[in-house]
Amino acid sequence: MADKEKKTERIEVVDALRGIALFAIIILHSCEHYNLYYKSQDSLSWLAAIDKGITDMTWFMLAGKAFSIFSFLFGLSFFIQLDNAAKRGIPFRGRFVWRMFLLVAFSQLHSLFYNGDILLLYAILGIFLVSMSRCSTRTVLITASIFILQPVEWIRVICAILQLNFPEYGNHWFTFFELTQPVLVSGSFSEVLCSNITHGQLYGNLWQIENGRISQIGGLFLFGMVAGRIALFKNTRESIAIWKRITLWAALLFIPFYTIRMIYPSIAAGNNSLLMPLNIAIPSICNFLFAAMLTGFFVLLWYDKGNGYYIQRLFIPFGKMSLTNYIVQSIIGVCIFYGFGGGLYKCGATACWLIGILVFAILLLFSNLWLSKHKHGPLEWIWKKLTWIK
């Protein structure tokens, strides 16, 4: 037991990167009014123009990228925990599966308040991560690359071109989405909870299944595990050289894929069986490449300074308490935007950014105060204690 509790050194750049990814998630969720979709009607033309510019910038820079970085770091965290346990002579794979069952419980707590929960899918795919952990790094890399390319969607594209039948999916989530919206607008707190745990769960999880998230998260988890294996977040000449190559190739590959993203809608217009899989596969690949480029820039800037710039280090405590902050930001957010609370779902993108920054500032202050007296965030502490329960 003493060996199990031995202190292991945290990788601060990982905490900072996780923190800034979570900050971006808060901004995105705020702009989406935490899945209460409402297009604001600004009476002032100049404000409408600013809102449109901010919306376009937010979706280009953050949508799909923050989630990708967060998922990548989940795979890295699995490797770190597995490696630390191995160094102490403690078997951990079975313990991690139990840890994923605990994550299901956290996901259900989160789903009570917010119907866009990602933790349930993380828990399920975390078990897949365990099953791949004994494979060679080469095998893991090949599998991760295949997953990122969204193979099922390309099979659908081929079937559409050859006019072959393929089981249709992509819009089943919308039925349950429509059932959630009136409740979020005018329902009481208890009605929102009931909606989220029923129709909200079906909406959120079906959306993720039908929009390629299983394949995308699976690939990101595996890439994160490989990053741990090759010590990609250690400040060495070799790791920095790899990050430079990752950043360069991600930027070079992003250009043609984004160009394809701009032109295929007009080419496939009217052919829904072709358009739907392309709408999943191409944006997913673009988001992965852009996220890889952003991650590379962040890490290279960190080690260029030696131990991170102040603006980067600001996010360390926020990232250390990522589970607590992820769930609490949803609770705060729905109370701000939903009808039973502040009812600010009519706000435009500019106001939503300011609200998101305010939520982040409150949680960052809380994280700093909490970590000044405790080693782990409150939910992180519970998760750790239950993970190691006999």
Per-residue pLDDT, 46: 84
Q: Give me the mean pLDDT over the 112-136 stretch.
A: 97
Residue 2: pLDDT over 60: no
User: 168 pLDDT band (50/70/90 cuts)?
Assistant: confident
Please state, in angstroms and as integers, the Cα–Cα distance from residue 31 to each residue in 21, 36, 38, 345, 358, following that order. 15, 10, 10, 9, 13
Residue 169: pLDDT over 60: yes
The pTM (predicted TM-score) of the whole model is 0.95
Whole-number average pLDDT of the chain: 94
Summarize pLDDT for 224-282 with one digit per residue, the tens: 999 999 999 999 999 999 999 999 999 999 999 999 999 999 999 889 899 999 999 99
User: Tell me, what amino acid is at 22?
Assistant: L
Summarize pLDDT for 173-203 with one digit per residue, the tens: 999 999 999 999 999 999 999 999 999 999 9
Summarize pLDDT for 22-53 with one digit per residue, the tens: 999 999 999 999 999 987 776 678 888 899 99
Residue 4: pLDDT over 50: no
- Percent of all residues in the chain with a pLDDT value above 90, rounded to a whole number: 90
User: 8 pLDDT band (50/70/90 cuts)?
Assistant: low
Q: Kindly report which listed range (3-12, 99-108, 331-340) carries the lowest average pLDDT score.
A: 3-12
Q: Six-digit token pair at 121?
A: 């899918």
Per-residue pLDDT, 10: 84
Summarize pLDDT for 295-343 with one digit per residue, the tens: 999 999 999 998 999 999 999 999 999 999 999 999 999 999 999 999 9
Residue 1: pLDDT over 50: no
Q: Kindly report which listed range (40-49, 92-101, 109-118, 224-233) carries the lowest average pLDDT score.
A: 40-49
- Please tell me which residue, 8 or 312, carries the higher pLDDT value: 312
Contact residues for 37 (Cβ-Cβ < 8 A; gap 6+): 181
User: 6 pLDDT band (50/70/90 cuts)?
Assistant: very low
User: 352 pLDDT band (50/70/90 cuts)?
Assistant: very high
Please state, in angstroms and as integers, the Cα–Cα distance from residue 55 to each residue in 11, 30, 70, following that order. 33, 11, 21
User: Tell me, what amino acid is at 247?
Assistant: T
User: Tell me, what amino acid is at 304?
Assistant: D
